Structure 1
Amino acid sequence: TTGLLHNPTGHSFSPAQAYGLLELAKRHDCHIIEDDLYGDWHPDPPPRLAALAGIEHVTYLSGFSKTLSANLRVSYVVTSAQAAANLTHLKLMCGGITSEMFEQVVCSMLTDGTYHKHRKRVMQGLLASGARVASWLQGLGFTLNAPYTGGLYIWATLPAARDAATLAQEALARDLVLAPGILFGFDPALRHCMRFNVAHTDKPEVMAALAALLD
């Protein structure tokens, strides 16, 4: 599960939701895999599920492909000793390797503070872009799934029950690529929803094109 800044909805667990999920998992003897690839973009992150329940009940996964570069395939796992041993064995048997050069780059950035500075700078940029995009979408009649609090994505419902897939097709004629809700699930209600990447959307030409499509 993704507890912080979920893709595509941008949702983060409230404390009540986090504890509710942990109680449900405990009741049914389920081990949770916590995917936290987007968590570093949260300006004020709550405790992770693994911190609340412990690594005997939650395995924590994160990495740097979403915060540094998609090509930087360096990640890490925090889990119990037995699970770590099993995963290490599985990786060796599958021939899975990680570039040592990439690992050294990430290690250097974490050690000398470069990663922290990069994270802070990009996070502040995302917050500014997200606030502008959220305000602009609401001005066009979109309904936001939740107030924007950070991260890459805003999930919104189109005005007047417009069909998001149709709008996305019309947008392609204007060289504008949109992400309709049906790309992310099969619920019929998703036909009226759309995911917006705040960095890509925070451009005058994108805003003008979408406004024209909705006119």
Structure 2
Amino acid sequence: MTQTKIEIVIQLIKQNINNKSLIAGSRLPSVRQYAQQLNYSVSTIVEAYARLVAEGIIESRAGAGYYILGKPVQPIPIEQHIQYDREIDPLWISRQSLEAKNAVLKPGCGWLPPDWMPEQTIRKALKIAAKSEGSLLIDYALPHGHLPLRQYLVRKKESYDLKVHPNQILITDSATQSIDLIFRLLLQPGDIVLLDDPCYFNFQALIQAHHLRAVAIPFTEQGPDLEHFAQALQLKPKIYLTNSGIHNPTGATLSLATAYQIARMAEQANMLIIEDEIFSDFEYLPAPRYAALSGLSHVIQIGSFTKTLSAAVRCGYILSNLENIEKLIDLKIAIHFSNSNLNAEIIYQSLMDSSYPKHLEWLKKQLIKATNETIQRLAQLEIYPWTVPKAGIFLWCRLPQHMDASKLSKICLQQGIILAPGNSFSQSAQAGQFMRFNVAQCIDKKVFDVLENAMKTYSHTAIN
């Protein structure tokens, strides 16, 4: 990228310090002198000096000018060593993926590659937000959060036959924060929560953090197993936590018949359903929503914009009845006081940009293509999907019978490939034979080359 004049001035001074032309105690030219030497404006030099002062490279002495300080102490970088032998737990994939260097490939992570994300849309939204009135940049958000974003969500929910008022929506900083708030409000340690088996691993991590008891319900291609769900209700669970729309990790889609039966049983048991619809924008045809079937008295819906807009600009939401929203607002104020109004504005402006619907269509087409290609490549390794998803980013795949997913993942990790073993998503005996693949992160042929070599290494080790 082209350097600004301010950056050029800063670089010149740093170079002179490095080559000893300027040493500790040396006096810099005055602002006006340096501006004349470089034929730059005085304001450019003032800003450059100010930034160098902030970095601790120079100091301003009242009435005497600017002087070079001693070379600032640079922190000693701590090399992050990936723990190959760490036990596979719900946070294993997240830690490896977030800490990994850029050269590491991440077919096990839960997000799209950077070049699939709408960077220019976010940059444009940032510029618009920067020109907004001062209160947006400085003040706390309203208790409910950004009003235009809530109004956008009201319009969006109409496509799912869900009528909500803006005051039934609470803006949060993420879907994870949303679940945390709901758990804090409605549950006590030891309470029972129903989960799909397999399920998103961070659901398990949150349940552990709140000292709750999880009961796993086998997940079928149409949704949760109805017989097992009915049996679990005898344990008097407080909440059923699930993905609506596209299921994580299986990629399966909830059927209307199953959704209706689950909603009816949950109402009869006076149990609350929390449905996380974070992958909803990847859908071609909307799957049934429990909130539309049972209403917000029996269902709380959460989501975020991480998967299709930005993981850096954190923003999520909660939909519930007015009573719950009021209590959640009080709890949010007590714990976090407010959420990022600026983030919400950036997300809102991105959603309003005419390029966003086109971006979504492009994403859907790319994902269909990537899904088909990944299925074909995995088939060559005798790895097959449990179901072929209608949309989304995940394939839940069965490994050859003698393979253990966690052991295979550790072999691949040593070769720069982060996988998502089934043990992270399920505690069942069969989980070790499954692996979740993010098709958008499987574009690089190296993923399959490393996987093939790892499988050979695994087989050879097992034989010996």
TM-score (norm 1): 0.92
CA contact (8 A) 1:134 1:148 kept: no
Check if 1:127 corresponds to 2:368: yes
Query: Which of 388, 408, 416 is matched with 1:167 structurally?
Result: 408
Q: How does 1:5-16 map to 2 (within 5 A)?
A: 5-16=246-257
The amino acid that maps onto 1:177 is I
Residues 29-88 of structure 1, C-alpha deviation per residue, up to 9 Å, x if partnerless? Answer: 112111111121122222322112211221111111222122222112221111111111
For residue 190 of structure 1, report the CA deviation from its aligned partner: 0.6
Say which of 433, 436, 439 aligns to 1:198.
439
- SS of 1:76's equivalent? strand
- 2:323 counterpart residue number: 82
| Shift of residue 96, structure 1, vs aligned partner | 4.0
**In structure 1, C-alpha distance between the alignment counterparts of 2:355 and 2:450, rounded to whole Å:** 37
CA distance in 2, matches of 1:96, 1:146: 43
1:171-186 aligned at under 5 Å gives the runs 171-186=412-427
Structure 1 residue identity aligned to 2:303: S
Determine if the alignment matches structure 1 residue 149 to structure 2 residue 384.
no
Q: Which runs of 5+ in 2 are unaligned?
A: 1-241, 457-464
SS of the equivalent of 2:243 reads coil
Residue 187 of structure 1 corresponds to which residue in structure 2? 428
Once residues 378 and 364 of structure 2 are traced to their aligned partners in structure 1, the CA distance between those partners, rounded to angstroms, is 20
Match of 2:89 in 1: none
Please tell me whether the aligned partners of residues 367 and 391 of structure 2 are also in contact (alpha carbons under 8 angstroms).
yes
Q: Residue 305 of structure 2 corresponds to which residue in structure 1?
A: 64
**Residue deviations 1:173-202, cap 9 Å, x none?**
322111111122221211111111111112
- Cα distance in 1 for residues equivalent to 2:292 and 2:354: 24
Question: SS of the residue aligned with 1:59?
Answer: strand
Listed as ranges, the gaps of 5+ residues in structure 1 are none
Q: Pick the structure with greater CA Rg.
A: 2
Aligned length: 215
Is 1:22 aligned with 2:266? no
1:41 counterpart residue number: 282
Distance 1:138 1:45, change over 3 A: farther
**How much has 1:211 moved relative to structure 2?**
2.4
Question: What is the one-letter code of the residue matched to 1:65?
Answer: T
What letter matches 1:146 in structure 2?
Answer: T
- The CA deviation at 1:155 is 0.6
Share of identical aligned residues, percent?
A: 31
Counterpart residue number, 1:54: 295
RMSD value over aligned CA atoms? 1.7
